[in-house]
Amino acid sequence: MDSEFEDILDKLLKGEYSARTIRKVHSQEKKIRGVKNVPHYDLEETARKKLEEIFNAGVHSKYAREVLTVLEYSNNHNHYKTDALLIDDIVNHKRIVFNNYLIEYR
């Protein structure tokens, strides 16, 4: 599971996500129900440092952990009609109706 978080962290470090996208991703965190995958502390700390660069402000470890958790979730859940990944819709600034990504379509 850590390899998936490493891929997500790699994208974050390359600057693929804007501050606006990260805020939108983080706003989805409380909507995830059930078991959440949690990143290793080392990955969380690396993400925290990168988020501090992006926001030009201090970032708590909890915020970095939540961002990584939602990024992992959004890379694995598709919209039930359009089949677009949640992260792609967030990056493209589409309106997010979170329940549309909960349905197991396949």
Among 13, 11, 14, residue whose Cα is nearest residue 72:
11
76 pLDDT higher than 60: yes
Q: Which candidate, 71, 36, 32, places its Cα nearest to that of 50? A: 71
Q: What is the pLDDT of residue 58?
A: 93
Residue 1, pLDDT above cutoff 70: no
Match 């994208």 to its residue by tokens.
11
Give the per-residue pLDDT at 28. Answer: 94
Q: Are 67 and 32 in contact (CB under 8 A)?
A: no
User: What is the model's pLDDT at position 102?
Assistant: 78
Is 80 exceeded by the pLDDT of residue 103? no
Q: What was the pLDDT predicted at 37?
A: 86
pLDDT digits (tens, 9 = 90+) for 13-60: 999 999 999 999 999 999 988 888 889 999 999 999 999 999 999 999
**Is pLDDT of 78 > 80?**
yes
CA nearest to 90, candidates 39, 36, 1, 16: 16
Which pLDDT does position 104 carry in this prediction? 64
